Amino acid sequence: MAELKLQFTEAGLARLLSAKDSGLKGEITHMAFGDGAYTPSKTQTRLHHERERIEISDYQGDGKNLRMAGVFEGNLEYAIREIGIFLSDGTLLGVYSQPDRTLGYRTAVVRLIQWFTLNIEALPTNSVNVVTGSENLNLVIDEEFAQMATVQINTMHRQLQQEFRLLGLEKKTN
């Protein structure tokens, strides 16, 4: 199977060049996912069958690649066959898709964090920033941390109770 590559769009590249000419950077803010499978076009301005768009919640960059993450929530379920990267003004920067290829699967049951790597070497130098949305991934597992803290507190409570019982038994035997 052929390697999956991002198709940058003419509109996205034009937006980055316009921003760079103004001394600014294009801001990547969202990833969109859909269930259309096709060969992306550089003239494309939207996904063929977008199912949801999520804010970027976290990212890492090394100068060549941007590794971005977003959180899926809600009860949608579908095969992910197209992924779009969007700038802050809604311009489609690039698309991943391929005919007859499923890239992933979105389930309704699991709150999912989706990581996505974007190679930026083909973009004008210093032309993009990633802007994270309102949900910080450090808070994604807040419920899990609360559950873990509850278990630890209950364990410590049982250990203290056991210690007090042991001290009581020692006093009776002395």
- What is the β-pairing status of strands 7-8 and 92-97? antiparallel
Q: Which of 113-122, 130-139, 150-159 reaches the highest mean pLDDT?
A: 150-159
pLDDT at 137: 53
Q: Which of 12-16, 118-122, 170-174 reaches the highest mean pLDDT?
A: 12-16
Q: Identity (one letter) of the amino acid at 55?
A: E
How large is the average pLDDT for residues 118-129? 83
Q: How far apart are CA 117 and CA 10, in angstroms?
A: 20
Task: Answer for the pair 70, 111: CB distance below 8 angstroms, yes or no.
Answer: no
Q: How far apart are CA 16 and CA 57, in angstroms?
A: 21
pLDDT in tens, 74-93: 889 999 999 999 999 999 99
Q: What predicted TM-score, i.e. pTM, was given to this entire model? A: 0.73
pLDDT in tens, 96-110: 999 999 988 888 876
Q: How far apart are CA 37 and CA 99, in angstroms?
A: 5
> First and final CA of the chain: distance in angstroms?
78
Give the distance between the most distant pair of CA atoms in the chain.
88
Helix H, strand E, coil C: the string for 2-48 is CCCCCEECHHHHHHHHHHHHCCCCEEEEEEEEECCCCCCCCCCCCCC
pLDDT in tens, 21-51: 888 899 999 999 999 999 999 999 999 999 9
Average per-residue pLDDT in the chain?
A: 85
Task: Answer for the pair 54, 80: CB distance below 8 angstroms, yes or no.
Answer: no
